[in-house]
Chain A
């Protein structure tokens, strides 16, 4: 009897070992970037004269206008004194092979506040929950217009919360409030966790990349996309700089 069980035990042990190896290759380390060691940090810069912000006229909805007694100005190109460009999505475009990643359980959040979107650019994962919050005293409609995901369009009175998801990678989905035509935002959706949106000084970091050669891209809503390739080893840190130049018409 014991002799007959031996092949079964060996098979089970082999299967368990194989499953562990597969899990290690496809999931656990990249799913938790803080455990991995390679880090790409960098800055996105804008070269040229930054266009002056334009005035937003909110007078059509007095509930919005009342929130900004001093007026509101908006610019799609926002850069600091050193040229650090804000609201750029920096991401790994290729090099991850067939690795797969589970979406995080915490939601990404986009807020309507002062009849503007906050943040202006949201980066999130495919199938991650997107929480849409309306903190204004007026009704909005949130209307993403994707090319590679399903389009939805929902009215959102004050206080109502909306949860939605996007199933496929897409960089980036324009979002509108048709009721307030000045409102515009972008949602970038990724199937992996290696992305960042630049802050006020144009800086970003991508943590926990497995060693390898990657195509990095930087996307800006009006300046387009810049690309470069990097090779990074285990426990290595790399500095990267992207530069967008002013268009001739600016």
Chain B
């Protein structure tokens, strides 16, 4: 098949233009919009300027998740006024650590409107966190709990996977995620997030990119802490660490793409919209 020269030139022009725009954006990444300082500390003040530039469109001026783009997004942008965050290293109900928020901003949240803000300088991401925390009085009134410890992962084995399958049944994980982990359990169609919007359980068989990180340790942490603001509960009191690792190994066994090389592993995976 031959490509016509006009199409080739146009493609090169568009790619150059897009690269230039991206580069220009990155060059100006450290500068937020000018905003009044008021009673804000210096990091909060810088963070507010950055927030008004990068975050306000979805999360809104008041941080309540009602930005002008919010009606078009599913799942909805985080409401910072509630200080309830999915991705934490702390117990369910606890505030997140700054390092948790930093990790989320850096990583982004897969299958949502939240992109990775890794291109922003480290200081900008820290300042954004300082400002985001001003939206809820909880950050002044409470201290986040300690990070829950993650013990070393035992080797995955057929026995561990089998035990994990039994725990998956006993803990009623199937009621949302389905008997075979496809996200089609009997309760799936009834689930909502804490703001009342419908939410779909994760299809464990096709998705290998989880919202709060993709490693086995990230999965272990999700099971321990739960994803606050969603129907996914914390299992830290219900299960021992070895049992949690068994569940991680069982979930990995459902992911036929897991372990393959990067992009190839993503081919054929459908978009996830759940927790």
Contact = CB atoms under 8 A, between A and B. Distances in A.
A152 B228 CA distance: 6
13 contacts: A61-B175, A141-B231, A150-B138, A151-B82, A151-B84, A152-B234, A153-B93, A153-B234, A154-B238, A155-B171, A157-B170, A179-B176, A179-B187
Interface in A166-183: 176, 178-181
A156 interface: yes
Contact of A180 (B83, B138, B187, B228): B187
B237 A162 contact: yes
Interface string B105-136: 00000000000000000000000000000000
Given A150-B95, A179-B172, A179-B175, 10 more contacts: A138-B172, A139-B238, A141-B231, A145-B194, A150-B142, A154-B226, A155-B226, A157-B170, A162-B237, A181-B187
A60 B187 contact: yes
A141 B176 CA distance: 12
B237 A154 contact: yes
A180 to B, nearest CB: 7
Interface size class of A (residues with CB under 8 A): 20 to 34
Q: What DSSP secondary structure best describes chain A's contact surface?
A: loop
Nearest to B228: A151
A101 B175 CA distance: 42
Nearest to B95: A150
Chain B: number of interface residues, binned into ranges: 20 to 34
B258 to A, nearest CB: 24
B93 A160 contact: no
Interface of A: 60-61, 138-143, 145, 150-157, 160, 162, 164, 176, 178-181
A178 B227 CA distance: 13
A153 B172 contact: no
B200 interface: no
A61 to B, nearest CB: 7
A81 B228 CA distance: 43
Contacts of A145: 194
B191 interface: yes
Nearest to B186: A60
- Residues of B contacting A: mostly: loop
Interface in B87-108: 91-95
A141 B229 contact: no
Closest 10 CB pairs of A and B: A152-B93, A178-B231, A60-B186, A181-B190, A141-B233, A179-B175, A155-B238, A155-B233, A152-B92, A153-B233
A143 B175 contact: no
B165 interface: no
A180 B175 contact: yes
A139 B170 contact: yes
B237 A151 contact: no
A154 B92 contact: yes
A160 B238 contact: yes
B232 interface: yes
A157 B171 contact: yes
Nearest to A162: B237
Contacts of A157: 170-171, 238
A143 B233 contact: yes
Contacts of A179: 172, 175-176, 187
Contacts of A139: 170-172, 238
Nearest to B92: A152
Contacts of A150: 83-84, 93-95, 138, 142
B97 to A, nearest CB: 15
A164 B93 contact: yes
A185 B194 CA distance: 15
Contacts of B235: 155
Interface string B207-243: 0000000000000000000101111111101110000
Contacts of A164: 93
Contact of A153 (B92, B142, B171): B92
Contacts of B176: 178-179
Nearest to A144: B93
A151 B186 CA distance: 24
A156 B171 CA distance: 8
B239 to A, nearest CB: 8
Q: In the complex, which of the residues B142, B175, B191 has the most CB atoms of chain A within 10 Å of its own CB atom?
A: B175
Contacts of B91: 152
Given A153-B92, A181-B187, A61 B231 contact: no
A88 B46 CA distance: 49
Given A152-B92, A153-B92, A143 B231 contact: yes
